[in-house]
Chain A
Amino acid sequence: GAVVSQHPSWVICKSGTSVKIECRSLDFQATTMFWYRQFPKQSLMLMATSNEGSKATYEQGVEKDKFLINHASLTLSTLTVTSAHPEDSSFYICSAKGEREEDTQYFGPGTRLTVL
């Protein structure tokens, strides 16, 4: 199956700093990428959908200025958590999908963010 990678796999940062997480589709072109957040023992919450070359579409309640998403190429999307605070600590997961309607979403392994 298709492979999606995320980097870093875990990161610890101080409150007030910004953190960038990368999501790459390694063997296919991802016209659409999705960013999710997962709290302990809970399901995935969709944060935003990004299409290559256009602005991301954020879900209701997700702060655009805090969670900056860039999808500059067909294989790379980045999520930047700006001015991170302890409540932003979570597991962030990206997924990628090809251009066909029937294409499946393939998920990255996730990034564990801990804000001190």
Chain B
Amino acid sequence: GDSVTQMEGPVTLSEEAFLTINCTYTATGYPSLFWYVQYPGEGLQLLLKATKADDKGSNKGFEATYRKETTSFHLEKGSVQVSDSAVYFCALGGATNKLIFGTGTLLAVQP
């Protein structure tokens, strides 16, 4: 079945460092891909999405490109801030409307 694999955390970075969180997927058909962020004690917020191959989703300095050839949707940011500290979830959405989530990656940014 469909699945999402993302790098295990925690990822600890200094402020202004470059961030990459890897995400790969397995799916039949042509899923949409999402990154959600969860701040401590809160629910998930949609960070960005891409609905077809080669689409690039971007928001708040974060980017991810839908790569069909490598079945990947890696999250990147050029310069992280302390306020970016959160758990990041990669997710896949298929024809059934269900979202399949990765296990989440905790990002801790130190000043």
Binding site for B on A (CB under 8 A): 1, 6, 32, 34, 41-44, 46, 49, 93, 95, 97, 102, 104-110
Contacts and interface: CB of A to CB of B under 8 A. Distances in A.
Contacts, number: 45
Contact of A108 (B43, B101, B103, B106): B43
A105 B99 contact: yes
12 contacts: A1-B46, A32-B97, A34-B99, A43-B89, A43-B103, A44-B44, A44-B89, A95-B44, A95-B99, A102-B32, A104-B49, A107-B45
Given A43-B102, A46-B99, A93 B89 contact: no
Contacts of A49: 97-98
Contacts of A97: 97
Interface residues of B, number: 20
Interface of B: 32, 34, 36, 42-46, 49, 51, 89, 93, 97-99, 101-104, 106
B4 to A, nearest CB: 9
A43 B101 contact: yes
A46 B44 contact: no
A18 B97 CA distance: 29
